[in-house]
């Protein structure tokens, strides 16, 4: 009979009580994809930087595991650490990705309407470009609420700001995205 | 009214696009590719006990035993007498001495293991 899967809380308890590194390894294995993926989004697709920040995230999580009070899900707590690591790195570098030349233009679908797959891929590329033009808090709010599928309350916990601020960032981000992607959309 | 409808349609379209793109990305599980191993290698080393702790613990046990004897001298004396009586009553042979030593060694070993486990 297959044994019941061990919960995150049980693994955390093993790490805290016995310093069980295998248990911590299991936690990393479970959450690495979501954390790395989220950081790839925040860093604008810089995979190497995202993986470095993800590694830092898990090391910080290990060091601060005693401060995790189960108020939020473990994954949400990890997203919060990851976002703080990203912010610290961005401040250290003191440079956010600048828009490439010609990025002010409105993004529109390709000319060939007979290629739906190409159209979908092009939309993803344009959405990524449009995301890169958002301010860092706006992009972070979109990443947390859509990509990480968090509620506004959870996103506020991760971003360390009030729920109302998250909603404002989302609203502004959507306005910018709509303007940038005006060539796409229902009327195009 | 028409402008409002168009705005709603654009809102819906963007919402759907963001959700679909997020779902598409979310479905792409990132393979571990040694990531977990790299994290585990960089974990801080386990906290080592300071070198003075073990002798200090043994000394503390001895002090505690001495204190117990000093606090309850009658009980300690009775125990000692019972032990001597038991030894005197049972004729001493080499095999019994060996068994007694083995039992004492096992008890001492168990006590040490227990103390180290507690640490």
Domain housing B9: 2-41
| Residue B48 included in any domain | no
Tokens for A30? Answer: 């479970």
What is the C-alpha separation between A47 and B28, in angstroms, rounded?
15
Determine what percent of chain A is predicted with pLDDT higher than 90: 49
Cβ neighbours, 10 Å, residue B76: 14
One domain for residues B35 and B85: no
Q: Which chain A residues are within 8 Å of B10, Cβ to Cβ?
A: 178, 185-187
Check residue B7 and give its pLDDT. 67
One domain for residues B60 and B8: no
The DSSP letter of residue B33 is T
Check residue A101 and give its pLDDT. 42
Q: Per-residue pLDDT for B86 more than 70?
A: yes
Topology of domain A1-94, CATH: Rna Polymerase Sigma Factor; Chain: A (1.10.1740)
What digits encode the pLDDT tens for the residues A48-103? Answer: 999 999 999 999 999 999 999 878 899 999 999 999 999 999 888 765 554 444 44
Determine what percent of chain B is predicted with pLDDT higher than 90: 20
Topology of domain A106-182, CATH: Arc Repressor Mutant, subunit A (1.10.10)
Q: Which of A15-24, A99-108, B50-59 has the lowest mean pLDDT?
A: A99-108
**What radius of gyration do chain B's Cα atoms show?**
36
Check residue A110 and give its pLDDT. 56
Q: Per-residue pLDDT for A131 more than 50?
A: yes
Q: Which chain B residues are within 8 Å of A24, Cβ to Cβ?
A: 40, 43
Helix axis angle for A74-93 and A8-18, nearest 10°, is 70
One domain for residues B31 and B65: no
The larger pLDDT score, comparing residue A93 to residue B38, is at: B38
| Residue B47 included in any domain | no
The larger pLDDT score, comparing residue B3 to residue B32, is at: B32
Check residue B45 and give its pLDDT. 85
Nearest to A37 among B25, B42, B47 (CB): B25
User: Closest-CA residue in chain A for B46?
Assistant: A19
Q: Are A54 and A32 in contact (CB under 8 A)?
A: yes
Q: What is the ipTM of this complex?
A: 0.73
| Residue B24 included in any domain | yes
């Amino acid at each position: 009979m297959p044994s019941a899967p061990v919960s995150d809380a049980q693994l955390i308890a093993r790490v805290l009580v016995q310093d069980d590194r295998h248990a911590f390894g299991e936690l990393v294995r479970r959450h690495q994809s979501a954390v790395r993926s989220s950081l790839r989004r925040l860093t604008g697709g810089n995979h190497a930087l995202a993986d470095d920040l993800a590694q830092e995230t898990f090391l910080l999580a290990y060091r601060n595991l005693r401060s995790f009070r189960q108020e939020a899900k473990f994954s949400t707590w990890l997203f919060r650490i990851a976002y703080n690591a990203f912010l610290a790195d961005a401040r250290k570098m003191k440079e956010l990705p600048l828009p490439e030349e010609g990025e002010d233009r409105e993004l529109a679908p390709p000319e060939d309407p007979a290629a739906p797959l190409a159209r979908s891929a092009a939309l993803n590329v344009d959405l990524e470009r449009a995301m890169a033009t958002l301010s860092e808090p706006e992009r972070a709010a979109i990443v947390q609420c859509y990509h990480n599928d968090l509620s506004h309350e959870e996103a506020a916990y991760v971003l360390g700001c009030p729920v109302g601020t998250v909603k404002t960032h989302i609203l502004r981000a959507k306005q910018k995205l709509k303007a940038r992607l005006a060539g796409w959309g229902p009327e195009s | 009214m028409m402008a409002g409808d168009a705005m709603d349609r654009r809102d819906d379209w963007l919402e759907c696009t963001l959700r679909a793109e997020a779902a598409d990305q979310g479905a792409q599980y990132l393979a571990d590719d040694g990531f977990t191993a790299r994290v585990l290698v960089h974990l801080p080393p386990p906290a080592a006990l300071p070198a003075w702790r073990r002798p200090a613990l043994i000394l503390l046990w001895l002090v505690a035993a001495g204190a117990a004897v000093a606090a309850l001298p009658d009980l300690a004396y009775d125990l000692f007498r019972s032990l001597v009586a038991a030894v005197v009553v049972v004729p001493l042979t080499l095999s019994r001495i060996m068994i007694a030593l083995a039992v004492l060694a096992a008890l001492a070993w168990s006590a040490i293991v227990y103390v180290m486990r507690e640490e």
